[in-house]
Amino acid sequence: FGGAKGGVKLNPKAYTSSQLETITRRYTMELCQKNFIGPGLDVPAPDVGTGAREMSWIMDTYRQFNPQDVNAAGCVTGKPISQGGVRGRNEATGLGVYYGVREFLRFPEVQKMTGLTGEIAGKTVIVQGFGNVGYWAAKFFHKNGAKVIGIGEHDVAAYDPRGLDVDAIFKHRAEKGSFRGFGNAEMIEESTKVLERECDILIPAALERQIGLKNVKGIKAKVIGEAANGPITPDAHDYLVSQGTVVIPDLLLNAGGVTVSYFEWLKNLSHVRFGRMSRKWEEAGKSKLLALVEENAGRKLTTKERRAVIHGAEEHELVYSGLEDTMIDACEETRTTAAAKDTDFRTAAFINAIQKISTVTTQSGQMFL
């Protein structure tokens, strides 16, 4: 958030936790000394090989260099809840992927191109990459009725046309260090081959350039949702589009993490948890309305029913709502531009982005030289 991107190139598995902390803090120190980080300047977030732990180290280091900054918690996002993080951030990118694919399946033109119905339930899904993004994307597809038939990791891929239990295979890998030995699933030793298995929806959620000219003709998915950054090469993308495959581009589909990072930043600047000021007031209003309804209906709700009706939104529910609304709007904008310009969804997403930058630049009085 601010325009920059940076990191430390290393294999985190080759270092102890103490060493990683030292490296992370030193990296942050360099950013602080060069004035490259701050809540009103540039705000990093976790990416490959990092998570809430590293973001907490970054924030603590920034605070040591800027003890007077009352908004110091907003210098980085993706933090633990106890350190000013926001509930819902951990699963945000994967949830955004689910929302985006769900919206595209509802578009009549996508249904016509793919022959698929507009419902997630019953669709077959293959996910490449089982890190934070891939796991949560698979989990939300599974939770909403899709059949996750394949999951690929760096060492091996698991495949079962009957469907994989996402939580069970996640637990198995956490305990054994690999998918190997999980139930009756087929193990695909050349893990990238799972991309070429037949499915309705393919979610590359690992690294860049996973689908190129070397394997694109083997891709059988009807819809590809780019959860990773740049998983499809430009030439492969052109081929897929020419074959009628729906490609939902990364700059649109995997924006959930950045979106919720923005919500976390807003929380840090406001110094109050989302829902704290309004939840009980909302519940009180619903309770009064429910009492009037019960009085006129002549029936009292059970305690469980009453609790479900008057429940005020908690932080993660507000975050989910904001993310869903953002993704729905962005998908609709992309669809509209693609239809108006008679182009593919990636080009449409770029057109929208460039037009927004142009509008802001022009209206602010700036001129490109």
Considering 5, 9, 34, 304, which one is annotated as catalytic?
5
- pLDDT tens digits, residue range 46-90? 888 899 999 999 999 999 999 999 999 999 999 999 999 999 999
- Cβ–Cβ < 8 Å for 264, 366: no
pLDDT value for 100? 98
44 backbone φψ class: left, alpha, beta (φ>0; ψ -120 to 50): beta
| Class of residue 70 by CB neighbours under 10 A (exposed 0-12, middle 13-18, buried 19+) | exposed
- pLDDT tens digits, residue range 139-163? 999 999 999 999 999 999 999 999 9
pLDDT value for 6? 86
pLDDT value for 268? 97
pLDDT value for 26? 97
Residue 351 token pair: 């057109």
214 counts as catalytic: no
Which parts of the chain sit beneath pLDDT 50?
none
- Cβ–Cβ < 8 Å for 334, 106: no
DSSP 184: T
- Cβ–Cβ < 8 Å for 163, 178: no
Rounded Cα distance, 346 and 351, in Å: 9
Beta-carbon contacts of residue 306 (< 8 Å; ≥ 6 apart)? 287, 290
**Cα 104 vs. chain centroid, distance in angstroms?**
16
Please name the residue ranges forming H helices in the chain.
Answer: 17-33, 52-65, 92-106, 108-114, 132-143, 166-176, 234-242, 250-253, 256-270, 279-297, 303-310, 315-341, 345-363
Rounded Cα distance, 1 and 323, in Å: 16
Residue 53 token pair: 């732990």
In a 13 Å sphere around the CA of 341, the CA atoms on its Cβ side amount to: 16
Rounded Cα distance, 226 and 203, in Å: 6
Grouping H, G, I as helix, E, B as strand and the rest as coil, residue 107 is coil
Domains and CATH numbers, the chain: 12-83 (3.40.50.10860), 92-253 (3.40.50.720), 274-355 (no CATH)
pLDDT value for 367? 61
- Cβ–Cβ < 8 Å for 227, 95: no
Rounded Cα distance, 239 and 261, in Å: 34
Rounded Cα distance, 126 and 222, in Å: 11
Q: Which residue, among 135, 288, 289, 149, has the nearest Cα to 206 in the 3D structure?
A: 135
Residue 71 token pair: 């908004």
Count of residues making up the chain: 369
